[in-house]
Amino acid sequence: MRDRLRVVVADDERPARSLLLSMLRRFDDVEVVGEAVDGAAAVELIEREKPDLALLDLQMPEVDGIGVVRLLKRGAMPMLAFITAYDEYAVRAFELNAVDYLLKPVDAARLRETVSRAIDRLDRDDARATAVKNVRSAASAFEAASATPLRRIPVRRKNEIVLVPVSDVASVIADGELLHVTTIRGVKHTISYRLKDLEGRLDPEEFIRVSRGILVNISAITKATPMPGGMFVLSLSNGQELHTSRFHSRLLRERLLKL
């Protein structure tokens, strides 16, 4: 006989979290293995308890439900269902990618459907792997559709999550599937993110792409030194020197180097 579905709940609103936990504990095939009051705590809880299913509130402060997806270590991703007050961008992204979601206030019958669907996926390894892949695609789709510029970037530092203000970022350099973020003070961080996705969440009035793999905070640029071929070396206030591409040099001239 298969063990019960191991579930964690993350919601910063205590009444909503308590209601979810109460409903889950009435299901004979569910074992609640933990609860978290915010996204950072959810990451720690999921990686420690390794649940089968995590129910994540989408709109948690600082590190939201999508942020949890971004911060979880590879291999630590459980099946996920997002909980949200109606959000057209979220619902569209989740439906297009076959990712489960629950609308607040959560209905017991709808929660039962989510649990049953997770149990079915748990019994089929290929379905679970597909579900995890779909979650990442849904996260990217939701972030791309959201019009709210990112103000803080959650970064993992060993077992901690550091919130780096976007205004403190001097440059972002792509390295395969990783991004190296350097602050104005010269502090370096590494995150798992696509440059195109991050660029879409930054204010275009504050950041500019200077080559295929480099984003720069405009306020951090102190000098642009011309190079052969119409390119530039940009000097930043933190001491970095970054080379522009020929194509992006034209955009740089248009935006920054004309009175």
Which of 121, 145, 169 is the endpoint of a domain?
Answer: 145
Whether residues 21 and 42 fall in one domain:
yes
| 231 in the same domain as 131 | no
Which residues constitute the domain of residue 111? 5-145
pLDDT at 193 over 90: no
At residue 104, what is the residue type? K
Give the residues across from 191 on adjacent strands: 179
Q: What is the DSSP string of 27-44?
A: -TTEEEEEEESSHHHHHH
Residue pLDDT, tens place only, 77-127: 899 999 988 778 788 888 878 789 999 889 999 999 999 999 988 877 677
Here the contacts of 100-108 (C-beta below 8 Å, separation 24 or greater) are 101/58, 102/55, 104/16, 105/16, 105/19, 106/16, 106/19, 106/20, 106/23, 108/23, 108/26
Q: What is the pLDDT of residues 134-166, one digit of tens each?
A: 888 888 788 777 767 788 999 988 778 899 999
Are residues 202 and 113 located together in one domain of the fold? no
Surface-to-core class of residue 169, CB atoms within 10 Å of its CB (0-12 exposed, 13-18 middle, 19+ buried):
buried
Same domain for 135 and 31, yes or no, is yes
CATH code, domain with 137: 3.40.50.2300
The predicted pLDDT at position 31 comes to 96
Structurally, the chain folds into a number of domains equal to 2
User: Where does a domain end: 115, 145, 175?
Assistant: 145
SS3 227: strand
Mean pLDDT across 56-68: 88
User: Domain boundary at 114, 145, 176, which?
Assistant: 145
Do 191 and 232 belong together in one domain? yes
Nearest-angstrom CA–CA distance, 109 and 72: 29
Same domain, yes or no, for 139 and 166?
A: no
Please state the pTM of the whole predicted model.
0.75
